[in-house]
Structure 1
Amino acid sequence: MKTIYRTIWLLAMLLVVPAEGWSAGKTEITWYGQAAFKVKTPSGKVLLIDPWIDNPANKNGKKELAELGRVDLILITHGHGDHIGNAPEIAARTKAHLVAPFGLGRTLVAEGLIPKELAGYDTMGNYGGELQLLDGEVKVAFVPAIHDSDVTVPGPPVRQVPGGNPAGFLISIKDGPVIYHTGDTDLFSDMALVGRFHPVDLMLVCIGDHFTMGPRRAAEAVKLVQPKLVVPMHYGTFPFLTGTPAEFAAGLKDLGLEGRLKKMAVGETIIWGR
């Protein structure tokens, strides 16, 4: 009987071990709210995407920003403040390199927001190009986005300067998922081509409406891309971002795609293991 009880106790302990304790060899994806995500690769490399970590939707944002450790790459889709976010502070502290559309990277360097040595030709590109990064562990392809990309430069005086073309990112992780982060965009028919070169495992899609596509158009985008799993983002942070996950779920259901939805809570981490 003692052996049986010991076995049951060991199994119970396994069940309560935090998920992150079992993530070796797997990819971790954390949502900070708005369009901000952290991706930790199977080997422990860290990517931040549109890193506005202390946004209003993230009640633990200031603490998480202060405790942020290793960062290897900072990916920024376009020049708006809710996507550049905390990137200047994070880059200065961690020396992470900037991955961005070339025009945006050039502006961020010229305005003193990102150090020049962190934004070279090796980590910036444009539509259709694909970067081989971190010794081939990460590949990033630039995908069009229908939006704008002006950068607000702190003053005085506060200025608006051109930020080049907005983009989405198709991120391929070695021994991990292919992730499509749409950035801020409307639905466009060429989304159907996104997965042709790298079939998409996880799609991070804006649904907020007003400044991007809303839930129903986002559902149509999912139909075009055909990811295995889709996470809605860029909603609820401000009152005018009225799109909701419930509307998005309804749109997916109408298209026969409801089984692909994963609604993340702010601060939640999912672990992807093939």
Structure 2
Amino acid sequence: MESVLSSSHAHRTPWTDFKQLGHASIRIETEDGSVIYIDPWTEVLDGEPGDGNVVFVTHDDFDHYDPNAIDAVAKPDATVAVYEAVDTADFSFEVVDLSYEGEATIDDIDVRSVPAYNDPDSDHVDDDGDPFHADGEVIGLLLTIEGTIVFFSSDTDFLPHHESIDAEVFIPPIGGHFTMDRHEAAEFARSVDPDLVLPVHYDTFDPIETDAAAFADELEDEGVRVELF
């Protein structure tokens, strides 16, 4: 696990610790000690930390909605905020629903849900020609954490409505096949114009193997900081 410490823009980086846990799982710890997880997955966790104050879930794929992983990372009184399309009927925690499009405040974190999906006309479709992630199945998260905007796009292509998004920290998938590839993610990053890019969702399975170093080099040549896990 690689810890990404605050950059030289101290006023724009509220966390003391930011970890890419692997695949699409993220852990953020703020200066006041609050811990936030996004899409924790058992396969990339180191034990059962049980330190999470807030856990976000963006959709119901097994590598994003993993009840056992949430149990492992969450404190007993944690707030678990889940996209409302996910079936959490058998889940042990009380859940706060997140809408497909909308705004909410979760434990002092301003949250904007952003539609995420594969363009039906893209290459990210199954053998029947259906998108791996259809419109309505996934959300991205635009989070304002102690004044810093973090955008976790989740499993998606770069879509027209994304062009209005600005964030200091951008967390895109880059593996391709089920999501945008590294070239599309680089274009997306240029649009967001972040201080820091933390790519995820690559090299876990054969279909999403990619040249992450080339992605990082391409953006860093343009002055954008990239950290790989």
**Contact (CA 8 Å) 1:33, 1:53: kept in 2 or not?**
no
- Indicate yes or no: 2:43 matched with 1:54: yes
Moved more, 79-88 or 228-237: 79-88
Deviation at 1:249, TM superposition (A): 3.2
Whichever residue aligns with residue 160 of structure 2, its letter is S
Within a 5 Å distance, the mapping from 1:184-203 to structure 2 comes to 184-195=155-166, 200-203=167-170
Deviation at 1:26, TM superposition (A): 3.8
CA distance 1:231–1:93, shift in 2 (3 Å): closer
Aligned mate of 2:212, from 224, 232, 245: 245
Q: List gaps (5 residues or longer) in structure 2.
A: 120-135
Separation in 2, partners of 1:30, 1:247: 21
Whichever residue aligns with residue 118 of structure 1, its letter is E
Alignment RMSD: 2.7
Separation in 1, partners of 2:110, 2:72: 22
CA distance 1:92–1:264, shift in 2 (3 Å): closer
Deviation at 1:223, TM superposition (A): 1.8
CA distance 1:127–1:251, shift in 2 (3 Å): farther
1:118 corresponds to which residue?
A: 94
Whichever residue aligns with residue 57 of structure 2, its letter is I
**Contact (CA 8 Å) 2:169, 2:198: kept in 1 or not?**
yes
Within a 5 Å distance, the mapping from 1:227-238 to structure 2 comes to 227-238=194-205
TM-score normalised to the size of structure 2? 0.78
Q: Deviations over 1:224-264 (max 9, x none)?
A: 222121111110111211222133235536xxx63213223
Aligned mate of 2:226, from 262, 269, 272: 262
Aligned mate of 2:61, from 59, 63, 80: 80
- Indicate yes or no: 2:86 matched with 1:100: no
1:132 corresponds to which residue?
A: 105
SS in 1 for 2:226: coil
Q: Deviations over 1:107-153 (max 9, x none)?
A: 12x2x1x23x521xxx322233121122x2x11110111149xxxxx
- Indicate yes or no: 2:191 matched with 1:218: no
- Indicate yes or no: 2:148 matched with 1:166: no
Q: Deviations over 1:55-76 (max 9, x none)?
A: 3xxxxx3xx232x032111111
Q: List gaps (5 residues or longer) in structure 1.
A: 1-18, 56-60, 149-163, 266-274
Separation in 2, partners of 1:231, 1:208: 13
Highest RCO, 1 vs 2 (Cα 8 Å, sep ≥ 6):
1
TM-score normalised to the size of structure 1? 0.66
Separation in 1, partners of 2:116, 2:76: 28
Whichever residue aligns with residue 51 of structure 1, its letter is P
Deviation at 1:213, TM superposition (A): 0.6
CA distance 1:125–1:229, shift in 2 (3 Å): same
